[in-house]
Amino acid sequence: MIYLPLSFVVLFLAVLGWWILARRDRYPGKTWEALLVRAGIPARLGAAGLDLRRFGHLKLAAGLGALLLGAASAVRAMPGGVVAAGVLFFVPETAAFLVAVSTRRARRREILFLKRLFILNGSIEPVAFDEVIGILRAHACLLAPLLVRIENGRKSNSARMRELYEDLSIQSRDLEVSLFLEKLSQADRIDFREGLRSIRTDFAIEKLGRRRQCEKTREAIEITGLILTMLLTGLLAYYLVLPWLQAYSLQALR
């Protein structure tokens, strides 16, 4: 029965953690968020466009839930509950990972579409960069803040466009976005036709990669589907045999 006092100690620690989080403004640098920063999580979350504070709350809630479930399972001697608590503890990380993957793919897809729009609207002359950037901004979702800043920069007399593009490229922390911004910068500052040609070449290369990406995704789906089906079939077989094992003791057959 050591589990009972142990679970109370852990619960007390969790409440202490909650208390620290609630007073994070009074103790800057010693908060849950600071711990996450030290663990290097914000860089990954930032790439996915996630809010660190929300993630911290989610993690704390999942941790508390896992502790309560784990303690209850340990007291009632239910090993399945302990495993479930372990799974519950890592739910925020899994969710963050999935959101990061989804956002990265969505951003790549959006850049591809914006390139296509740029090529289409830039190829039919007469054309101006302002017109094309306005169209791109109207259809951007994840890249909209960047494009708005470029549009505003172009309207301002004092903006140094080269520095602006470089700043945006550094802030984006995404290679695909940086490459796209380089081409936009070329079309904006140097020569529109040269920039259009660069985007066209880049788009053609990406189109070739799309075939490979399709095959990779299909293979990944097939492998995952096969593993999951086998796992479910194994569990189903276990479920089929379980009442028989309870009804007839195998020891008696010896």
- Please tell me the distance from the alpha carbon of residue 27 to that of residue 23, in angstroms, as a whole number: 7
Kindly determine how many residues on this chain lie close enough to bind other proteins according to the rule CB under 8 A.
46
Please say which residue, 171 or 217, places its beta carbon nearer to other proteins. 217
CB 5 within 8 Å of CB 65: no
| Helix runs in the chain, H state only | 3-22, 32-38, 41-47, 52-75, 79-89, 91-123, 129-139, 144-155, 161-172, 175-185, 192-247
| Amino acid (one-letter) located at 128 | A
- 235 near other proteins, rule: CB under 8 A: yes
Determine the 3-state secondary structure of 97 from DSSP.
helix
Least distance (Å) between residue 133 CB and other proteins = 14
Piece in contact with other proteins (CB under 8 A), picked from 4-12, 50-58, 146-154, 208-216: 208-216
The mark string for 153-192 relative to other proteins (x by CB under 8 A, - otherwise) is ----------------------------------------
Give 66 or 168: the residue with its C-beta nearer to other proteins.
66
Contact pick of 1, 43, 77, 240 for other proteins (by CB under 8 A)? 240
Using the rule CB under 8 A, is 207 a contact of other proteins? yes
CA 114 to chain centre: 21
In the complex, the smallest distance separating the C-beta of residue 151 from other proteins, rounded to whole angstroms, is: 16
The yes or no reply on residue 121 touching other proteins (CB under 8 A) is yes
Report if residue 123 touches other proteins, rule: CB under 8 A: yes
The phi, psi pair for 202, rounded to 5°, reads -60, -40
